[in-house]
Amino acid sequence: MGILFGTDGVRGTANIELTPEMAFDLGRAGSYALAKQEAGTRPRILVGKDTRISGDMLEAALQAGICSTGADVLKVGIIPTPAIAYLTRYYQASCGIVISASHNPVADNGIKFFGPSGYKLPDEVEAEIEQLVLSGTRELTRPRGADVGRVYDVKEAENNYLRYLTDCYSLKEDLYGLRVVMDCANGAAYNVGPELWHRLGARVIAINDKPNGVNINERCGSTYTDTLRKEVIEQQADLGVAYDGDADRCIIVDERGNELDGDYIMLICALDAYRQGKLDPPSIVATVMSNIGLEIALRRENIRIESCKVGDRYVLEKMQETGSLLGGEQSGHIIFSRYATTGDGLLTSIKVAEVLKRSGISLSELAREMEKQPQLLVNVSLENKDEILGHELVVASLKEAERRLGEWGKLVVRPSGTEPLVRIMAQGSDRYLLEEVIDSIKKAIATAQN
């Protein structure tokens, strides 16, 4: 990845790393690069954000940069990230930009681009935008008079997104009788989330739906489900849903208060689709970090798992390569390619509700089809990662670890892309074996460093 763009756009501490000046330059560079691809037309760029306090500051700077090149802004306000992907296509915009740091704390923020098709911008376009920002945007085009860009408030954006989501709902009957507790993470789903479930006929109890600019993801949402789990039990709900700050992912809680992560969500949705004859090809995409129990459960039904690196962009690439209709991560970032171009927590949650309604079986029973295997994750500090991981002692210890774990075990050694450390993850039925295996790898690494 580049210097500015990571796997999920540009991220950083707002006003320190991700400054208004950078947002201005990203607006100028992005609209300039897109204008070159659309010669003869005036670019229209859709801009939305989540609820964090720095969003207003970055939005103003970003919009100023866009308008300074002669492009127009379609301003949609606070709205989930996947809504930007959909609405970019709906309004035939040149691109969509969302200002959000997803599940990160309030001090962080980010700027993420979607192309006109609703997919992430091609790498070469991101690289061009990055180079323009790094080299300075002062000399880029500066129209005057009537050619300066305008900002248009798009009042119906949220309603159009809601209509799209309700169109994705495939059952003939609504969700009447289903009691849902929803944790909105004080984020972008605080309004659209409850409204969606109301439209589908469910009984909704919304929590953490009062954002104040600083409480986004604060002990709530998909990364902190304790409150939701208690509320589901107290309300005797059928289903609990926790979104993250920009609602591109969700975690499910069953009627007993048990947390069901993305592996369980993929299991439930994949088995339901397969048994209806709607999983063609019979495969899903999951990252190397998914629990081996998911593969065991799906293999019983002759459903394949196509494995990929961690990151939603790699999930999507693998889905496009294999034609798989479903893919995702343990974090709850799930992609239904029949309906969407990116992960959408709201879409994911209603697809789980469909299975619940159609089957008449409780979530805890649906989740029983998978038995999660013990999983052990250890971080090892390592400066010269490539050199040490290529050392003959370490290579030999990794091969021996894989042999000991056997066919139904799993070993993943993944250098961090942002920190001087290596993540070692081992899975299998015997936790003591996992500890022994990881300990032997750590000893080999220590020896190789001396």
Q: Which residues are catalytic?
A: 102
Residue 293 near residue 261, CB atoms below 8 Å: no
- Tokens 């139904």, residue located: 408
Question: Residue 55 — φ and ψ, nearest 5°?
Answer: -60, -40
Cα–Cα distance between 49 and 23 in angstroms, integer?
13
Q: What is the CA radius of gyration of the chain?
A: 23
Q: Tell me the C-alpha to C-alpha distance, in Å, between residue 26 and each of 60, 104, 334.
A: 12, 21, 28
Q: DSSP E strands: which ranges in 281-417?
A: 283-287, 304-308, 326-328, 334-336, 375-381, 410-415
Cα–Cα distance between 267 and 369 in angstroms, integer?
8
In the 3-class helix/strand/coil scheme, how is 109-163 assigned residue by residue? EEEEEECCCCCECCHHHHHHHHHHHHHCCCCCCCCCHHHCCCEEECCCHHHHHHH
Annotate 157-218 with DSSP letters as a single string. HHHHHHHHHHHH---SS--TT-EEEEE-TTTTTTTHHHHHHHHTT-EEEEES----SS-TTT
Structure tokens at 247: 């609602």
Residue 154 near residue 75, CB atoms below 8 Å: yes
